[in-house]
Amino acid sequence: MEKIKIILKDGSEKEVFKGITILEIAEMISKRLAKETVAGEVNGEVVGLDYKINEDSEVNILRFEDEKGKDVFRHTSSHILAQAVKRLYPDTKLAIGPSIDNGYYYDFDSEYKFTPEDLEKIEKEMEKIIKEDLKIERFELSREEALKLMEEKGEIYKVELIKDLPEGETISFYKQGEFVDLCRGPHLPSTKYVKAFKLLSIAGAYWRGDEKNKMLQRIYGTSFPKKKLLEEYLYKVEEAKKRDHRKLGKELKLFAILEEGPGFPFFLPNGMELKNTLLEYWREVHKKSGYVEVETPIILNRKLWETSGHWYHYKENMYTLLIDDEDYAIKPMNCPGGMLIYKTEMRSYRDFPMRVAEVGRVHRHELSGVLHGLMRVRAFTQDDAHIFMLPEQIKDEIKGVAKLIDEVYSKFGFKYHVELSTRPEDSMGTDEEWEMAESALKEALEELELPYKLNEGDGAFYGPKIDFHLEDCLGRTWQCGTIQLDFQLPQRFDLTYVGKDGEKHRPIVIHRVAFGSIERFIGILIEHFAGRFPTWLAPIQVKILPITDRHVEYAKKVADIMKENDIKVEIDSRSEKIGYKIREAQLQKIPYMIIIGDKEEETNTISVRSRDKGELGSQNLQDFINQIVEEIKNRVLTNI
């Protein structure tokens, strides 16, 4: 029997018989691996366990722990969900059911309105399907046969999808028992592989995300190969609900989203204290790192946006208006204004690197269905910076930005990982420019000893980029910081500088953010700390609680001394019992409470209670002030 060579992920080569399957390769390596394998990857293409390899190939065995393995596992789970719904509600029409981060969903068109109570009924039917151990089989049809099959089943959405496929496209289906679905695949070999699952919620979703189309019903779920993993995930989901920044934002009086401005956050006094504290820190870090700060207008004319390309490629996300019969737009990003600031005077190579930062207000039109608290808004503040430099300065500037972002994230206790995205197919610029840029980014990361994931072909069309994905205390990741090299805007805006040779040259530009959207970063912080901000970030750092009305005067004296030391302090002077005041302060997550009674007034002391450590007892006022001032100055993190 003919033999072929396969190269595994670890670089090892094996000689195997032609026609060997992914599952057989896993069994050849170890029984445990075979048990955990959910799919394979052959020459970069994800395939099912029964896929036969007939030529020399690079092979990667995928387990659930691999992202691509999770996709296969959860996409199969979405088919089990759809099969269960069709069994219970036969007149339901199927739309789409992809895997997503942490789970999957399926969109249905049904006259029956699903309720949360129905999810348990659907789950029981899914359990039956899993126990039936239905073999999942792939088959292909011609366009005509595929259309006929779906038309006979009355699956109008599948018919539309088939009609939109390019001519010559392979049209594949997957069958499990009586259930058939249009799908590219791959899938697990059988329904029995899905050992643990849970349906989570119901939502509305427009067909193809277009609000002009019919509103469908979307059922979300998640699944795992082990019940323990599901339990751990559900615990995190419940914990995330408690930490929901929308809920805490309201309770802590940080911000409001009002019907008069959906997607346009209103920051309340406590929220502005928090935001301004973040910006004070941001300015301190950037000043220390040699940045200058600028401000560009919120509204600029059409000519600018045509030059930048936004008028043609981003207009549907921009708010436009007429001023003096001329088209203007509210800026969706700060970059074009930054280019104009560069052009306000002639530049020399001696001016470089120029590190120009802006805390800029931007507006982008988002569909109402995707708006989400502070995480997805229509108006936000972006901590942009543009670094103008010479080619030989790229590596050092990248290293400088990476160190700055590391300093910022470490200050909040975030771990993070880095991804490097390289040249896409629709790129602009020469091969030499891209090679130089990508090499500089790689070398910078390697010299900093920053491990990174390589995303081949995923860079911006104007240059490669580095993305920073921070991890919060629940293990969720958020893409915030980014460093992008740009070849396009310097050309579009005809940016030049006078070089050593006296000739005009074009600078290279880095776009970078640390927080990203400051509003979104605040949302992440609220959930990361569960509203229990470290003292330096807290909008109210100390709450003074007089036991009775006669203790209010002494409380005011204590508060005045604290304010002189720049401590954010409030007095709860209500005629309420002290136990009630303490509980209220705890609910407001105030770092420190000071209880004032007869004893404290007589001895000129204070009684201190910590949010995180409980009763700290009687203290000298100045000693406490010294301690909290030091805590704020050093931006000490409290336990999360």
Give catalytic residue positions: 335, 364, 382, 384, 386, 465, 511
Sign of CA dihedral 58, 64, 66, 67: positive
Residue 98 CB neighbours (<10 A) = 13
Q: Cα–Cα–Cα angle for 222, 224, 227, nearest 5°?
A: 110
Helix (H) / strand (E) element for 239: namely: helix 227-242
In whole angstroms, what is the distance from residue 225 CA to residue 197 CA? 9
| Separation of alpha carbons 590 and 545, rounded Å | 12
Task: Tell me the two tokens of residue 491.
Answer: 């050309």
- Cα of 219 vs its chain's centroid, Å: 22
- Distance (Å, whole) CA 253 – CA 589: 12
Q: How far apart are CA 394 and CA 438, in angstroms?
A: 10
SS3 for 31? helix
**Residues facing 608 on adjacent strands:** 594, 617
Is residue 262 helix, strand or coil?
Answer: coil
SS3 content of the chain, % helix, strand, coil (to 5): 40, 30, 30
Beta-carbon contacts of residue 356 (< 8 Å; ≥ 6 apart): 291, 292, 293, 294, 338, 341, 342, 385, 386, 387, 388
What are the Cα distances from residue 423, in Å, to 261, 451, 481, 485, 636? Answer: 39, 20, 19, 11, 41
Asked whether 108 and 92 are in contact (CB, 8 A), the reply is: yes
CA angle 488, 490, 491 (to 5 degrees): 65
Whole-number Å distance between alpha carbons of 470 and 409: 8
Q: How far is the CA of 68 from the CAs of 254, 456, 544, 607, 613, in angstroms?
A: 39, 16, 54, 56, 44
First-last CA distance in the chain: 61
